[in-house]
Structure 1
């Protein structure tokens, strides 16, 4: 520890800040006591000095104090309205009319008809009882979101700049909190940036901007924004279409125009570090600048000073993200140390950069980019050399370079893996191959050509265009390669979000691997060096045979000969071929055992993280909060996964082109897919489409793209809408077996779970006969039937009726009764009162028919399910036993959940999936009153967030919900 005091000081600083951020006061004290005990043991073992131990404890205490002090001051200047808003239900539904005065402190972002920027407020007047009284904000930051009313307002919005004084009138609300377990918490995210309020303004007329102070930090940054914008316009002129946004992100760090689909493809392959300005970009910049200065015959000292001065300009020009700030600080420290001829190892520079950034902003510790940047850089410094020595040296320069690149790539992937799994829940098997190919190509070909094209365009336009055309060819190769690799979906791995102790354990085991590899490699090098020295001694002795044999002086071993008295000088005997290793065999064995144990631990951690629920025998039913829509995730005790609907926003009419946003919010991609991946859903065994309305299926397009689907159950109709046609076409193209929801279909998912279709949708009953479009028999085992191709029926295609086209889908919903450990859950999509009556009629009719009569009904024998047949179940008897949980149909619409329906099922509990402040007025007061009179407790996703049910093997049913923070 004494060799790198600054590194350990910074580590203890990070520990103190982390403890204060996540633990109560007693937890911080316990963590400090544990650190004190650890440092004391290191002192007693003489691995650390008392001075360093005291400094480390001081770092822990100071960091904890700084974070606690920062959290205490991170409050709003409007405590009473804020508390009232949090007490409202839902919290983000409470709005106050307000007038804000302040200064724009971030570049305004224009995306379609929305403009967003941050304001350091000086005062705000909030409407309430009586005349509004301005309250001083003292620089408190607010996020302003302006909804433009007309296309002409885009020009006014483009004139808003950072550093301007503004007065904004609008609705003041608190940010939405996370309402799904493990979901994104927007309120906590903004709080980490010291933002507590959103101010929504309608139209550009609600914003009055004027010039700010001429000399201020914001005004200086405004000039830098202008330079970035001017360079971005040049990129737009040089490169076509999506390539312009890609090159602006690659060279200038401007990510606003980066194509979202392209970014997702890069992200899937672990290549986002290429698009984020980081150490690689800073190194290329300094290399190019150094070459230019050398051409000008500048002295080394002056060249280093110029490069030190140029780094902050490049950091600002590149957008000053955490990764580029870290790289810039490290570069400046390294250049300064080189200028003073006191350049130390990279870990000290990295520790100094981290310490400076955390001193400036302690909340930086929670930034994912900050964590990845520092951890990967530290891993490369510690592990690349040891790993590289495991590979061949390489006979030629290009093989040596390939092995060097392979070492860097493997180590970087290994170090980033825990955080990638923890934050992004995904890993592409071909990520290493993609990095090996694209990192050198983009770093040494595309990026330099892009910078050169931008520079030459300003000097001589034709030269810039020529270089840009060369770059375009390189980009096309890159995009083609990326598209090909990302299309191989079978190589994507999905990981559940592991606990934090798992991340710490992984890094601990990885640190042991790096440490032991370094020790073993050092011992191997010492042994090789000693052997070389011994060989030289032997050669010297062979040339001069009269000289006495002696070992090198450092390893000389004197042995008294038997005739010592005869000739004392020639009595010194030693064996040049005996080498005393610097590391004893016992120590080497210890290192080998430690290495094997660490590698085994890494493998066990990875397997455990990939199958986190391998021994969990509970079943789960999760009603996800997807706003005004439905999405229910079900995990059986045997680990099978079902998804009923996927949510989705309903679009009314076509938006004008200027209103279209680059990356609009899509509930499937932003909510459903991340939640499923966080819960370790590697595949969906059965996907149920209750019906084809967009608020139930639009999100499933993203689900099917991200997660393999083995089988689909749907209501057997089609609808002439873009969302429905796209979803059904995707299912057919993916060759997914599809089953029509005909009455009597049963699935035995595993030993503790079964599914029954309790009735056919009305459109199927109207047909003379109906059957599955793909399969005529009901599979009896999801693990066997749903995984295989459906069997043929032997019935001519002409006998299969056409799929009915139904525009109004609400009364055509799939009705399912799911049994989990004896607990029954009823799902009926958006069934209305008419379909409820139809289902009850079918249930009573099923009671009147015997199994023999059922087999001789209109359904041909070839179409009858083989196993099991349609027995009398609790759902097909007039004396229906009460069920446990009912999903209230159609989000609590007045036209559903009739008294007759509720009286038949007698549910103990109900769940209403409904959006906050929805325009339909769901759930209707009449439905709530019917539930109250029936004594049925109802949870609501708009008020309670996600509603989860857990059923243990004993059949005990437990409920919890993610209540929005108040």
Structure 2
């Protein structure tokens, strides 16, 4: 606290952030810009009059002013369209959008995406003004030639475009990515989709000096640099170098990014303080060789930094590093540099005033957290490590790595839900090589290549050898699967306890180091009348508490003994996650993205297409702390059930894999089975069997396919009729999972059960009032090809769940199926209307939780 009181800017910034945090988790609508200004005025008056208790009063007023400022900004972040029109006529309607292009146009396969600063939207004969509101546009390209047309559009061009206006979708799964919230934080409230460039009328912007024109020139410069880097660096590495040098990630290999992410190396691929430091170091070194004075080269560097920030994409991390560098250089030029902590607080305050939503940006949070940790912690940890690490070089490297890893750990697992125990090793080895060699050499290759391409290519060729060595290292580290840990998203209370314990451990360690040279027992006298503190004992208790906290974070549901079945909304497909009472995890199918390509449509392929497994399913499993899947059941190999399992098998350990014993020819299925075999996952063909025990309270029995237990793989193209059907019993409840089975398959199962009545260990009461099963997963997304009346009569379920995509083109679920379910008096759940459906098994019965329709 004394440190904060001596640093008023730091204290003020902390109080301002506190006000923002309170505004995030509460709502006092009477606090707004006006009340914020009044509170700031009162603060100035109280400070000037030096009234009693002015410090706590001013602190409260500053927190209140921040609360009002954030809420005032948030209240203004609304669409300009009238509310009635939003809800009734415009959402999902065909309209004409008028405005100007407000971002670079990104062309990827058959899609062009950009934002439009919309002046108005025309609906039928009525035009609604939007006043420059940002609208996200997705334009589907119908011919390959349209790629060139869309690529020729530039920021600032006037645009008239006919298409469909929609409201962004909220998160459809618990803990899932909320696209509506993401766009709102970027002041965007509408999505606009159109087909073909023929729907657009584009007029180039007039060439005049303005902010838009400057940004347009910057876009063209970044595009030219990108094309030149394609010429300088080998094709597999150009995307990597673009990300590191100019912040362009469009061409970065998604698998390489995933690899760096798992090893905690994504900060290398994002422009941040490290890049700024190297850039300034190279500039200063060159200007010193040119015999420029210190005042001159510092002034030149200050002028170059805004240009560098824009050139590298102006992300929150590079803005933070750039602004801090500008303030430091100005202070150094005037000889006023004293306290880097003050500078950091000042930069954070400026950024939060400019855009309060920066507080919610992961790059802003990580950038300031790590910087704060390095400022406050490295020197202190250095002193503590001195007795064990006499070498200053090794000690400095260890201190920087230790501090950055410990400080960033909670934010990393909160946002990315993974941590590699080899992260410290990867950072210690690779970061110095990349920052001190690859990045400066890459800048040199780019500068030389702008003058003479072959010379730049020669340097790029040398860099490629070093990059290959780096990639070899990351490949080997990533293959050590046992060191990758998956963490459930921690609570804010857990994060707070983490930092409190971390500070406590440091304080105890420091006090111990201060007294360790004495010959007396290590005691700390708190007061003359109380017992003395045994420092080693307290340090041991603090370390034990810290380890206990980590265990609680890693196993957040360790003491939960209820079963949970989660019907995840993956669109038109199936993905069901089951957590048993003993903490086992079963995944039934993995969803998938359906693609339809004709010969000659290769140009439509996207560099990083949306894939359900990688973009939706795997992040959800990680957020829920699924460290491994004890059993994966693939009911059949159609893409909407199997497609997402490739990402699952690549990133999450699988203990056993149950499938229908057939093979559907195709590259996707072949890759999945190859991945499973490479990872030594046992493959179990399904056949009618007795109960398989999962844990003491959970067991399952395969009912279909009906066949022999031969280890023979049959090639089957039409997979629906081969779907694995099985019965699950958990804590006394019974569930029937049916894949995409059809009427013929239902008839075979019923015939098998009638011929072998002792096959199922299920009893129905003599009155017949007790249902045979509790929950039925409706087959084939509610298609009319299954769920016959005979099937329903036999099983007599209480609840029915239909996994089906919203606004699907197949007409699922079929009206006849819905009518049969309702006539039976069942409770019907649908993912298209309710989002994710969770059913918890408690001693009192079954309890449902719906993402989009309350509890």
- TM-score norm. by structure 1 comes to 0.82
**Aligned with 1:291 (options 282, 285, 292):** 285
- 1:233 counterpart residue number: 227
- 1:211 counterpart residue number: 204
Task: Check conservation: 2:121, 2:130, Cα contact below 8 A.
Answer: yes
Alignment of 1:197-276 (within 5 A): 197-212=190-205, 214-276=208-270
In the alignment, the residues of structure 2 paired with residue 314 and residue 82 of structure 1 have an alpha-carbon distance, to the nearest angstrom, of 43
**Aligned with 1:959 (options 836, 848, 855):** 848
* 1:344 paired to 2:347: no
- 1:682 counterpart residue number: 627
* 1:619 paired to 2:529: no
Question: How big is the shift at 1:925?
Answer: 0.5
- Change beyond 3 A, Cα 1:445–1:457: same
Q: How many residues align?
A: 827
* 1:891 paired to 2:829: no
- Change beyond 3 A, Cα 1:477–1:393: farther
* 1:63 paired to 2:66: yes
* 1:9 paired to 2:12: yes
In the alignment, the residues of structure 1 paired with residue 649 and residue 182 of structure 2 have an alpha-carbon distance, to the nearest angstrom, of 29
- Change beyond 3 A, Cα 1:817–1:395: closer
- 1:176 counterpart residue number: 169
Task: Check conservation: 1:689, 1:712, Cα contact below 8 A.
Answer: yes
**Aligned with 1:472 (options 461, 464, 475):** 464
**Aligned with 2:115 (options 79, 100, 118):** 118
- 2:328 counterpart residue number: 334
Larger Rg: 1
- Change beyond 3 A, Cα 1:69–1:253: same
- Change beyond 3 A, Cα 1:463–1:241: closer
Q: Secondary structure at the match of 2:663?
A: coil
Alignment of 1:381-396 (within 5 A): 381-392=375-386
Alignment of 1:583-598 (within 5 A): 596-598=540-542
- Change beyond 3 A, Cα 1:841–1:395: closer
Alignment of 1:510-589 (within 5 A): 510-514=502-506, 523=514
In the alignment, the residues of structure 1 paired with residue 220 and residue 240 of structure 2 have an alpha-carbon distance, to the nearest angstrom, of 19
**Aligned with 1:280 (options 261, 270, 274):** 274
Task: Check conservation: 1:616, 1:637, Cα contact below 8 A.
Answer: yes
Deviations 1:26-68 (A, max 9, x none): 9999xx9xxx9xxxxxxxxxxx995544443232111110111
Deviations 1:283-321 (A, max 9, x none): 111111111222222222222222222211111111110
* 1:309 paired to 2:303: yes
Deviations 1:331-360 (A, max 9, x none): 111111222222122211111111000000
Q: Secondary structure at the match of 1:453?
A: helix
- Change beyond 3 A, Cα 1:725–1:7: same
**Aligned with 2:407 (options 400, 412, 415):** 415
Alignment of 1:493-512 (within 5 A): 493-512=485-504
Question: How big is the shift at 1:209?
Answer: 2.1
- Change beyond 3 A, Cα 1:960–1:135: same
* 1:657 paired to 2:657: no
Q: Secondary structure at the match of 1:140?
A: strand
- Change beyond 3 A, Cα 1:27–1:937: farther
* 1:432 paired to 2:427: no
Task: Check conservation: 1:811, 1:832, Cα contact below 8 A.
Answer: yes
Task: Check conservation: 1:20, 1:28, Cα contact below 8 A.
Answer: no
**Aligned with 1:902 (options 783, 792, 801):** 792
Task: Check conservation: 2:764, 2:772, Cα contact below 8 A.
Answer: no
Task: Check conservation: 1:691, 1:714, Cα contact below 8 A.
Answer: yes
- Change beyond 3 A, Cα 1:828–1:122: same
Deviations 1:509-550 (A, max 9, x none): 2233445556666x57xx99xx9xxxxxxxxxxxxxxxxxxx
Question: How big is the shift at 1:714?
Answer: 1.6
Question: How big is the shift at 1:173?
Answer: 0.5
Task: Check conservation: 1:892, 1:922, Cα contact below 8 A.
Answer: yes
- Change beyond 3 A, Cα 1:518–1:58: farther
Q: Which runs of 5+ in 2 are unaligned?
A: 40-50
Question: How big is the shift at 1:623?
Answer: 0.5
- 1:929 counterpart residue number: 819
- Change beyond 3 A, Cα 1:601–1:102: farther
- 2:42 counterpart residue number: none
**Aligned with 1:843 (options 753, 759, 765):** 753
Deviations 1:781-803 (A, max 9, x none): xxxxxxxxxxxxxxxxxxxxx33
In the alignment, the residues of structure 1 paired with residue 380 and residue 228 of structure 2 have an alpha-carbon distance, to the nearest angstrom, of 44
Question: How big is the shift at 1:589?
Answer: 5.1
- 2:678 counterpart residue number: 733
In the alignment, the residues of structure 2 paired with residue 805 and residue 2 of structure 1 have an alpha-carbon distance, to the nearest angstrom, of 74
- Change beyond 3 A, Cα 1:216–1:710: same
- TM-score norm. by structure 2 comes to 0.92
Q: Which moved more, 1:205-214 or 1:429-438?
A: 205-214
* 1:629 paired to 2:518: no
- Change beyond 3 A, Cα 1:404–1:262: same
- 1:538 counterpart residue number: none
* 1:79 paired to 2:82: yes
Alignment of 1:358-377 (within 5 A): 358-377=352-371
**Aligned with 1:25 (options 25, 28, 50):** 28
Question: How big is the shift at 1:462?
Answer: 4.2
- 2:312 counterpart residue number: 318
Q: Which runs of 5+ in 1 are unaligned?
A: 37-47, 532-577, 765-769, 774-801, 851-869
Question: How big is the shift at 1:771?
Answer: 0.8
